């Protein structure tokens, strides 16, 4: 799995092969997250920081534009439906 990248990381950083492999797997898992999963996760994180929904959904809307593979633009209503059903 992505041996060239793991090899590169072990040559260019102090990471061991096992650590480099875990980093690659973590990054791939992060970018494999669906838009819906991202919205739910960010909502939980931002609620945990004490933000209110109005601020949370505006922040999530802005964050989505910077995802590696930007999903279709979602409205605030669509974001709420992802979280609350």
pLDDT in tens, 22-73: 999 998 888 888 888 899 999 999 999 999 999 999 999 999 888 876 567 8
Q: Could you tell me if 27 and 41 lie in one domain?
A: no
Query: Which domain, by its residues, includes 59?
Result: 34-84
pLDDT in tens, 49-59: 999 999 999 99
Q: Which long-range contacts (CB under 8 A, 24 or more apart) does 2-7 make?
A: 2/28
- Asked if 20 and 52 sit in the same domain, the reply is no
Same domain, 2 and 13: yes
Is the model more confident about 73 or about 76? 76
Which ranges in 1-85 belong to alpha helices (H)? Answer: 3-12, 17-32, 35-48, 53-64, 76-84
């Amino acid at each position: 799995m992505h041996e060239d990248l793991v090899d590169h990381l072990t040559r260019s950083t102090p990471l061991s092969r096992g650590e480099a492999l875990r980093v690659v797997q973590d990054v791939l898992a992060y970018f494999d997250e669906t838009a819906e999963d991202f919205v739910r996760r960010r909502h939980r994180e931002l609620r945990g920081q004490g933000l209110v929904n109005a601020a949370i959904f505006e922040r999530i809307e802005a964050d989505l534009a910077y995802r590696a593979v930007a999903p279709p633009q979602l409205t605030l209503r669509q974001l709420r439906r992802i979280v609350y059903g």
